[in-house]
Amino acid sequence: MCGIVGAVAQRKVQGILLEGLKRLEYRGYDSAGMAVLSPQGALQRCRAAGKVAALEARLEEAPLAGQSGIAHTRWATHGRPSEANAHPHQSGERLAVVHNGIIENHEQLRRELEAAGYVFTSETDTEVIAHLVAREYRDAGDLRGAVQAVLARLDGAYALAVIHADEPGVIVGARKGSPLVVGVGIDEAFLGSDPLALLQVTDRFSYLQEGDVVRLSAAGRVEVFDAAGAPVTREVQTFEHGDGAASKGDYRHFMLKEIHEQPAVIAAALEGRLGERSALVESFGPDAEALFARVRQIHIVACGTSYHAGMVARYWLERYAGVPVQVEVASEYRYRQVVVPEDTLFVTLSQSGETADTLAALRYARERGYLASLAICNVPGSSLVRESDLTLMTQAGPEIGVASTKAFTTQLTALMLLTLALGRINGLDEGVQVELVTALRALPGLVARVLELDGEIEALSAAFAEKHHALFLGRGAHYPIALEGALKLKEISYIHAEAYPAGELKHGPLALVDSEMPVISVAPNDELLDKLKSNLQEVRARGGELFVFADEQVGLEEEAGIHVLRLPHVHEALAPILYTLPLQLLSYHVAVLKGTDVDQPRNLAKSVTVE
Ligand code: G6P
């Protein structure tokens, strides 16, 4: 978490750094800060608690002039969100550092530095890096060498950038476990946690690898060294997505824009990947056909919303591809003694490709004898993509809203492609394959029709704004969709929401149901519909107000206490994708009514690169 930007330019860098921070706010927004080296070689720093806008206001009053600098937006881990804990952190008046991640042995290092006379001014783990590098620099007189020596003493996962007033026009960066990219400009060079931060100045990037140290200097010089300090070359790639994703366009929030992009991005996720009768297995990579033929089991690992996509996929893969599937959150999986049956495919799902727990799970899995690893991810060049044997990009384009929307539905689309590819290999009935392919082709159009219900969903949202709790129910593959609906509502409207498989209602949660507990249910026209209807009656009989999203062909009538919103008929396999949309819209409108910060809800961050 936390966002880093750096620039060594031929112009003043304050504006570039500030714009980069705004684009990185999704990584955290507890405080922001910037350090710039003045033309006279002085280190100037400005910091502010709260969002980047607070820093911007301070910089307007007292701009920082200079052509090289580093900046940071923070998601607090060690030490509360305050100006004193905001980055950059300094050692003396000549060295500043910004850092993303956690230094696990910081307490021991802090004790050592305090004993040596260093005075700490923050509660952060980052400040130990500043003092360690300063001490090393005193002896070595070379910033890159000093940073490289200090890295050997740091335990944990991090990305960092350092400047020193004695080396004007130089930034040294390093990464281990957290992302850092180099932006290649014309006689200028940049650093960022994410290419998105730098798209206003370049579309050419070098992705640093684990353990790399980079030195940026005047005239756009970029030197990369591996963990052992040997010079290495990292390929420069052109970024594929346009810059439009970083602006809200005509929408009030990024989340709303991203919800409305779903017809287009689902179509993009399908593009070139569907044949007449099935999914094109080569979409997963040249080795996929041979590897998929050997798959006997699948383990799916992910976090947050991505985990919910994995839960849906289990229903699909077991039903249509006949492969047993386990799904687990990465933070649990990585600390378990996992038993891996022969010929098991390991699948990670991640919007960012940088989630620390998911990455660690992949690295753990690689030592446990899996057949192969497949990453379904939205960010090309991310660590997860680079470290997996097979990949499928979800093509959602950058997602800025912290609450994931289009990334989720494109993950589901990609997982249906995986289901089809494995289904064909495992002898899925041809008629069913064609049915699913046809349904997938029609999906973007149906998604667009659901978006037309926005006004009706907005009208429903008023019933939630004053409530403190909500219960989501679903059965089968719609249980994970209920979980995702509850997650969306709690993330952005701060209403406590829980999801239950509808059949479990009578085993506990029914005790909570009264007129203050709205109950939301998805009721596609599938084989579990009759059972779901009985569960809904159980709620109604206890005075609970019901909100049912139902297939237009389902005979469910509006009556007192039961609100029914009808969705276009969809193939039952794809209903989990379609029924996600009204739940996204509902959460969005409730949050807007409540006046919360929709795109950047409190305490959260988009990309969680710490454990
Ligand atoms: C954070 C985000 C969630 C996301 C989760 C997993 O918690 O706020 O929206 O689902 O991380 O992220 P990933 O990038 O691995 O999908």
Q: Which of 39-53, 229-243, 248-262, 522-536 has the lowest mean pLDDT?
A: 522-536
Nearest atom, ligand 1, residue 358 CA: 15
pLDDT (tens digit per residue) in 220-255: 999 999 999 999 999 999 887 655 556 788 898 999
Residue among 452, 450, 443 at smallest CA distance from 267: 443
**3 pLDDT band (50/70/90 cuts)?**
very high
Looking at 2, 46, 303, 377, which residue is catalytic?
2
What is the pLDDT averaged over residues 1-5? 88
- Above 70 in pLDDT, residue 173? yes
What is the layout of strands, in order, in the sheet containing 189-192? 43-49, 31-37, 68-74, 3-8, 189-192, 181-184, 204-207, 236-238
Nearest to 578 by CA among 569, 590, 588, 591: 569
Would the pLDDT of 506 be above 90?
Answer: no
Atom from ligand 1 closest to the CA of residue 355: 15
Question: Of all protein residues, whose CA lies closest to atom 7 belonging to ligand 1?
Answer: 304
Measured in Å, residue 8 CA sits from the centre of ligand 1 at: 31
Nearest CA to ligand 1 atom 5: 304
Alpha carbon of 187 to ligand 1 centroid (Å): 36
Catalytic site includes residue 594? no
Judge whether 377 counts as a catalytic residue.
Answer: no
Query: Does the beta carbon of 313 sit less than 6 angstroms from any atom of ligand 1?
Result: no
pLDDT at 40: 87
Q: Between residues 553 and 591, which one has the greater pLDDT?
A: 591
In one-letter notation, the amino acid at residue 596 is T
pLDDT at 70: 98
- Cβ within 8 Å of residue 555, ≥6 positions away: none
478 close to ligand 1 (CB < 6 Angstrom): no
Determine if ligand 1 sits within 6 Å of the CB of residue 362: no
Task: Calculate mean pLDDT across residues 506-512.
Answer: 84
**pLDDT for the residue 448:** 97
Token representation of residue 279:
């999914």
Query: For 580-599, how does the pLDDT look when each residue is reduced to its tens digit (9 = 90+)?
Result: 999 999 999 999 998 988 88
CA of 291 to the centre of ligand 1 (A): 28
pLDDT for position 325: 98
| CA–centroid distance for 127 within its chain | 27
Ligand 1 near 360 CB (within 6 A)? no
pLDDT digits (tens, 9 = 90+) for 386-432: 899 999 999 998 898 889 999 999 999 999 999 999 999 999 999 99
Task: Report whether residue 604 contacts ligand 1, using a CB cutoff of 6 Å.
Answer: yes
Q: Is the CB of 179 under 6 A from ligand 1?
A: no
Is the preceding peptide bond at 195 cis, omega within 30 degrees of 0?
no
DSSP string, 371-382: SEEEEEESSTT-
> CA-based Rg of the chain, rounded to a whole angstrom?
25
Q: 372 CA distance to ligand 1 centroid (A)? A: 23
Residue 568, sorted as left (phi over 0), alpha (psi -120 to 50) or beta, turns out to be beta
Amino acid at 329: V
Atom of ligand 1 lying closest to residue 402 CA: 8
Higher pLDDT, 96 or 602: 96
pTM to 2 decimal places: 0.75
Q: What H or E segment, with its residue span, contains residue 606?
A: none
- Per-residue confidence (pLDDT) for residue 396, from 0 to 100: 93
Determine the residue type at 277.
R
Report whether residue 262 contacts ligand 1, using a CB cutoff of 6 Å.
no
- Of all residues in the chain, what percent carry a pLDDT higher than 70? 97
For residue 133, is it left (φ>0), alpha (ψ between -120 and 50) or beta?
A: alpha
Whether 556 has a pLDDT exceeding 80, the answer reads no
Task: Please list the alpha-helical segments (H only) found in 321-355.
Answer: 330-333
Q: Is the CB of 404 under 6 A from ligand 1?
A: yes
- 88 has a pLDDT exceeding 60: yes
Cβ pair 469, 517 in contact under 8 A? yes
**Ligand 1 atom 15: the closest Cα is on which residue?**
350
Q: Is the pLDDT of residue 527 over 90?
A: no
**pLDDT per position as a tens digit, 424-443:** 999 999 999 999 999 999 99
Count of C-beta atoms within a 10 Å radius of residue 329: 17
Q: How far is ligand 1, taken at its centre, from the CA of residue 513, in Å? A: 30
The CA distance from 528 to 522, in Å, is 11
Over residues 257-295, the pLDDT tens digits come to 999 999 999 999 998 888 878 898 988 988 899 999 999
> What pLDDT does 275 receive?
81
* Ligand 1 pocket check for 402: Cβ under 6 Å: yes
Report pLDDT for 192. Answer: 96
The per-residue pLDDT of the chain, averaged, comes to: 92
Evaluate if residue 601 carries a pLDDT over 70: yes
Distance (Å) from CA 12 to ligand 1 centroid = 35
Q: Is the pLDDT of residue 512 over 70?
A: yes
CA 303–ligand 1 middle distance (angstroms): 6
Is the C-beta atom of 67 inside 6 A of ligand 1?
Answer: no
Residue 241 pLDDT: 60
Looking at residue 119, what is its pLDDT?
A: 96
Predicted confidence band of residue 559 (pLDDT cuts 50, 70, 90): confident
Atom of ligand 1 nearest to the CA of 411: 16
